[in-house]
Amino acid sequence: MALQQREPPADDVESAELEELPKGEIFEVLRNQRRRYVLHYLKRDDQPVELGDLAQQVAAWEYDTTLEGVTPAQRKRVYTTLQQTHLPKMDEAGILTFDSDQGVIASTTRTHDISVYLEIVPGHEFAWRELYLSLGAISCALVAALWMGIYPLTVLSNLAWMGIVAVTVTATAIVHIYHERTMRLGHGTQPPELSYGTDD
């Protein structure tokens, strides 16, 4: 069955573009794992989806099984909460549109504008700021040690140590960028948090 994406009224589109969703509201809506799964699905496929198909996929992710392995009870449980709670709340925030009469969910401009980095989710943080602070402190200590001529650091030239520090910081930044991209909702076939476990 071909689904047509429901276009929001022009006034709604204009107001959504002019009015950014507060970060606190984004966090409140997406602090729930099931809602993050919904957003991941929409950002990944970028197509309108029927509620039944969405519930089937979300249930498969939640119960760590295939689409075929989802039981009717599991699908119904997810279907009901999506229909009654999660989708209306996300629709109200403008993160998606939910046609409850047709049972169709579609993305909006906000769906794509929201870039959810999984590190905002409790239990998935990596202390990148602390890592960069540590690298900075080590670099400062190295400079002081070289200035005082402490052995065995003087075995290498100052230029060599500068090269080592530059390569280390650059490599760390590359790893950080890669990690950030793979931890964003909509990246990959399944929600990134499934690879890291979750306590939600």
Rounded distance between C-alpha atoms, residue 135 and residue 138, angstroms: 5
- Amino acid identity of 193? E
**E-strand stretches of the chain:** 49-50, 96-99, 104-107
Tell me: cis bond preceding 152? Omega within 30 of 0 counts: yes
Q: What is the pLDDT of residues 130-184, one digit of tens each?
A: 888 888 999 999 999 888 988 888 889 989 999 999 999 999 888 877 777 666 6
CB 96 within 8 A of CB 38: yes
Query: Taking the chain, what is the end-to-end CA distance rounded to the nearest angstrom?
Result: 34
Q: What is the pLDDT of residues 30-69, one digit of tens each?
A: 788 899 899 889 888 878 999 999 999 999 999 989 999 9
Is the pTM value of this prediction over 0.85? no
**E-strand stretches of 62-178:** 96-99, 104-107
